[in-house]
Structure 1
Amino acid sequence: MKRRDFNTMLLSGLAAAGAASVINPWGDGMAYAQTESGGLTALLTPEPPLIVLPLNQQQSTLVVGTKIYEGLLSFDFDLNPLPQLAESWDISDDGLIYTFHLQKGVTWHDGVPFTAADVVFSCQVMLMELHPRARGNFERCETITALDDHTVEFVLKEPFSPFLKAFECGSAPICPKHIYDGTDYANNPHNDRPIGTGPFQFSEWVRGSHIHLVANPDYYVEGQPGLSEIYFRIVPDATSRSVAMETGEAQLSSWNDVEMFDVERLASLPHLTKTTKGYEFFSPLVWYEPNLRREPLNDVRFRKAMMHLLDRSFIVDRIMFGQARPARGPLSSTTPFYEPDLPEYAVDVAQANTLLDEMGLEPDGSGVRVTIDFLVAPAGEMWIRLAEYFRQALSAGGINVNLVSTDMAGWGQSVANWDYDITANLLFQNADPALGVARSYISSNIRKGVLFTNTEGYDNPEVDRLFAEAAVAVDPARRQELYSDVQRILVDELPVLWMAEQRYPTIYDNRLTDLVVTGTGVNGNFAAARYI
């Protein structure tokens, strides 16, 4: 019996037994997933611009897209590799050849067989053009070859210690060659109905309301997925999101779905569980990102003045309500090769004003030295508060800040195309500095139109050299030395203003089990998740 038929039989049986659906909880005429049938309603904020992972890497896109698409590997909480589309892999003794043996019997959601040709196309062609990190990873390959339909060989130009970690789904989503090869990726008609190999397949997207995924009846892992469907419910209002979790109308919130001030109250409710596990791979870092192409943001004295005006502890305590810790520099303390012995910028209004005076930025009759625009990330109230606090803090130095509002697509487009003065951003570190950190600072990754690259426009040949050498160094002690050196330079030059190491909560219904089972947490594929 196919899974689709089994689910139909199960739902019919439950209906006959009088199982009640959660109907229209938000008054929009839709029938949402009933937990009795194994369905899940998850909050999602903000609404993603699209859910095709190769084309977009914004957080809400990743939450949905990782249920549809898969990578070759996943990773446990200690960041050890686990099988996904690759059932096993071999690494040559010299560290140059990685051979992946692919799962057999896997089909795309449209029924076309998944083969090694899809992996080669994804890693060698599509992701190299579109993905903010894949280019830096796969350009290290001399060749990427399909040895047969179920075997792919990656031959590196030189050893690259973190190479396996490049195959996590968000970092290298495997895409269907038969859908995208030779097409205009951005305008491919299948972008509205994405096709992957994952445990859930796309059903519908009602803009402003919900994204509906249903169980893949032909998923290649026996007995999975354990959920029959997932509704990602788009609720712009923070209070409504909290109420949905409180009343059980939604069974899952993650990342910044619930505002930080409400986390502990919800976590204390008897039907809900909170965990901070599942963010180990990402170690997300929050910063203010200036556009270094624009005056006066291109002057390091101005950036240092801003750092002296900003209180990271205030941000952690009063905006993030303790769900974070102050950041020291470009690496999170949970990322390998973090350097703890770095200079700190104490809150010092007098020093900030001295630096601004040195620049010749004289106050006008209203005490304003200069005006800059702040592009507000429309990702929840925390991000609005970060913008409002920035405006308030910088006023002590005579810096006037205009807050500019937009939607998520507009924010991403403006930042990717360098059309902003300053904004707030959050980037993943992806388990190794060579994978998630270097991309934000190396000059070769200044790529107009591609979000989450070196969008600020920082260019330092010495930083480029240090990151390049550290990426290929085999000795961990040598890698530490090189990464410590680059952290010291970056903290001195401040290409971005690091504020906080975010500790996001995941809150979910107690009846759910095996939901957060890897180091990628809710960005995992939810194949094992089910109700008990």
Structure 2
Amino acid sequence: MQRLIRAGTPLTAVLAVGALTLSACGAGGDDAGTTDQDGTEATGTGEAPDANVSIGMFAVPANLDFTTTGGAAVFEALLYNVYEGLVRLDEDGEIQPLLAESWDISDDGQEYTFHLQEGVTFHDGTAFDAEIVKFSLERLDQWSANTPEALDAIESVEVVDDYEVTVALSEPDYNALFWLAGPLGAMFSPDSVEDLATEANGTGPFEFVSYENAVRMEFARNEDYWAEPAGVAGVELVYYEDASAAANAIRTGGVDAVLRSEAFDQFESFEADEDIEVRVGTSQGVVVMSMNPDHEALAQDEVREAIHHAIDKEAVLAAATAGYGEILGGPSVPTDPYYSDFTGTYAYDPETAQELLEEAEVEALTFNVPNRAYAEASAQVIQDNLREVGIDVTLETQEFPAVWVEENMVNQDFDLTIINHVEPRNMNNYAFPDYYWGYDSDAARELFDEAAAATDDEEYASRMQELTELIVEDTPGVWLYNPPNVGLATEGVSGLPLNDLGVGIDLSNVTVSE
């Protein structure tokens, strides 16, 4: 029986209601079931605990080490499944206990004392305790990827006893727990860090089995897991180059589910298929075209503003997602607590773009495009748009992630580039001048600091809204759209995450009916 989570409403309308409403939507069929507290579909009766599930994915991990390898593909597969941290994000993006069963925060917001779960071991048998926490957090200064700067406020980590640890900050940081809920908070066994690129040893509900680069990654249930065991005996993540191949695979039984499906042109036919469930949730994704400020022309405010006005975002969305998603005018997404709608700030206006370019000399630009369908489709529209206002753009397609990450995020060798940033609250990367898009603003950093020092939600949101307005005014990039999170599942597969939180994709609740 087909179960359509969006219950017949237009997909764009569903996205607007937010994560909580989406999680509670009624299904289109009779066997929709209930939802657990974290928003995943509840476990039903007649489960097959020895079953294995195969899931189609797209973004390919270059290796297993997210401490030195950029891009979300690595940690989205491993975090919450193999690796765990002190805290985690639930389906609604709220911070929940994980390896820390509770914590206390000092009145000045600069000391976090974590009370740890007892009896937890890594997959190789190493005991998890306060010394592990100290080792893992102190090792952040050795990270070279995934913005370890976000936890620069950590000044010291003190072991109180085996199961209590105090993390002291040099200054208050409103987001400290939030960052600890993501990849930066992952706990590592000291004996495993030399092999992070090829092996994964965590405390999570699944043990890492193998990874065949760009083909598949395999997990097996951790039978000695300290909490509720995983619902299936094994998980196979199968990586596809394009959305059509993944769509064909689920139709023909090659996989049991597909996450982050980009087969937008096939959703209507999937909705008519009684054997496939279409689940629509929110995502943290921001598809952004960044403009390198080191380029002579792109360093000019008028040129960047002209490029904004030259791009038809409606046409981009139509080409990339068949119109599914939310057009953006700034670097935050509707589920962010500080979201403001800036879509009217730089309206599509080729005439204004041409006027802004009258006295600017813009030589041909090179546009580095990862070989992902949404990026290539978006770039082709943008290339045509810019040509119409007199800017010649050459598209350079690059293999993702290996080539694109190295050339753009590491070497920062681009004029224009585009990517879907799926990590949560990725706007915070504008605080780091060394981040690949090179945004360097003293005023922005001051507002980031003020937001971090906030003592309540209202103050934090207010500062972040000011900051968003400043970043939009500075135009370091063109924020195109926020894609939906669409999952496909064959009948009998339950418990897939509904919303994409931009951290680990938790598969521990997945079950298969007998």
- Within 5 Å, which residues of 2 pair with 1:338-353? 338-340=339-341, 344-353=345-354
The CA distance in 1 between the partners of 2:115 and 2:349, in whole Å, is 57
Aligned to 1:95: 109
- What is the DSSP-based 3-state SS (H/G/I as helix, E as strand, rest coil) of the residue aligned with 1:153? strand
Larger Rg: 1
Change in CA separation of 1:332 and 1:232 when aligned onto 2, cut-off 3 Å: same
Which residue, out of 446, 462, 475, partners 2:433? 446
Question: 1:341 Cα deviation (Å)?
Answer: 6.2
Distance verdict in 2 for CA 1:332–1:128, change over 3 Å? farther
- TM-aligned CA distance change 1:527 to 1:304, over 3 Å: same
Counterpart of 1:198, as a letter, is G
Query: Deviation at 1:437?
Result: 1.8
Residue pair 1:263, 1:505 contacting (<8 A) in 2 also: no
Pick which of 196-205 and 154-163 moved more: 154-163
Q: CA deviation at 1:146?
A: 2.1
1:266 aligns with 2:259: no
What is the SS of the residue equivalent to 2:183? Answer: coil
TM-score by length of 1: 0.81
Cα 1:174–1:131, aligned 2, differ >3 Å: closer, same or farther?
A: farther
Normalising by structure 2, report the TM-score.
0.84
Matches within 5 A, 1:372-521: 372-378=365-371, 380-407=372-399, 408-416=401-409, 417-428=411-422, 430=424, 436-439=426-429, 441-442=430-431, 445-447=432-434, 454-516=435-497, 520=501
Distance 1:412 1:341, change over 3 A: closer
Partner of 2:358, secondary structure, is helix
Change in CA separation of 1:473 and 1:483 when aligned onto 2, cut-off 3 Å: same
Q: What is the rounded CA distance, in whole Å, between the counterparts of 1:296 and 1:284 in structure 2?
A: 28
Larger RCO: 1 or 2 (CA < 8 Å, sep 6+): 2
* Cα pair distance change 1:327/1:333, threshold 3 Å: same
CA distance in 1: counterparts of 2:331 and 2:286, whole angstroms: 8
Aligned partners of 1:260 and 1:382 also within 8 Å = no
Q: Deviations over 1:205-238 (max 9, x none)?
A: 223432222222221124x111111111122243
**Where does residue 71 of structure 1 map in the other structure?**
85
Specify the code of the residue in structure 2 equivalent to 1:107: T
Paired position in structure 2 for 1:104: 118
Deviation at 1:326, TM superposition (A): 0.9
How far apart are 1:403 and its partner, in Å?
Answer: 1.3
Q: Distance in 2 between matches of 1:521 and 1:297?
A: 30
Which deviations, in whole Å up to 9, do the C-alpha atoms of 1:268-319 show, x marking residues without a partner? 422222223364xxx2211101111112111121111111110112222342
2-structure distance, mates of 1:474, 1:71: 24
- Give the corresponding residue for 1:17: none
Distance 1:144 1:81, change over 3 A: same
Q: Could you tell me how far apart the structure 1 residues matched to 2:351 and 2:499 are?
A: 47
Counterpart of 2:245 (choices 221, 236, 240) is 240
Give the 3-state SS of the residue equivalent to 1:523 in structure 2. coil
The equivalent residue for 1:178 is: 191
Quick check: 2:110–2:172 contact (8 Å CA) kept in 1?
Answer: yes
CA spacing shift, 1:403–1:83, aligned 2, 3 Å: same
Within the candidate set 40, 47, 51, 2:60 is matched to 47
Q: Distance in 2 between matches of 1:254 and 1:103?
A: 31
Structure 1: gaps spanning 5 or more residues: 1-34, 181-187, 362-368, 448-453
In 2, Cα distance between the equivalents of 1:425 and 1:123? 29
Query: Any conservation in 2 of the 1:429–1:437 contact (CA below 8 Å)?
Result: no
Match of 1:230 in 2: 235
- How far residue 325 of structure 1 moved from its aligned partner, in angstroms, is 0.8
Q: Distance in 2 between matches of 1:410 and 1:165?
A: 30
Q: Which runs of 5+ in 2 are unaligned?
A: 1-47
1:27 corresponding residue in structure 2: none
Q: CA deviation at 1:477?
A: 3.9
Q: 1:277 aligns with which of 275, 281, 286?
A: 281
User: In 1, distance between residues paired with 2:282 and 2:238?
Assistant: 21
Quick one: distance in 1 between partners of 2:503 and 2:457? 30
Cα distance in 2 between the residues matched to 1:36 and 1:338: 41
Counterpart residue number, 1:15: none
Pairing 1:296-335 to 2, within 5 Å after superposition: 296-335=297-336
Task: Give every structure 1 segment of 4 or more consecutive aligned residues whose post-TM-superposition deviation is greater than 6 Å.
Answer: none
Map 1:185-224 → 2, pairs under 5 A: 188-222=194-228, 224=229
Alignment of 1:252 with 2:252, yes or no, is no
1:148 to partner: Cα distance: 2.1
| Overall identity of the aligned pairs, in % | 24
Alpha-carbon displacement from aligned partner over 1:39-62 (angstroms, at most 9, x marks no partner)? 011112132211223233523223
What per-residue deviation string (whole Å, max 9, x for no partner) do you get for residues 113-172 of structure 1?
Answer: 2222222222222366334333222x2233222222222211223333332212224342
Match of 1:140 in 2: 153
Task: Return the alpha-carbon distance in structure 1 between the equivalents of residues 127 and 94 of structure 2.
Answer: 28
| CA pair 504-278 structure 1, distance change in 2 beyond 3 A | closer
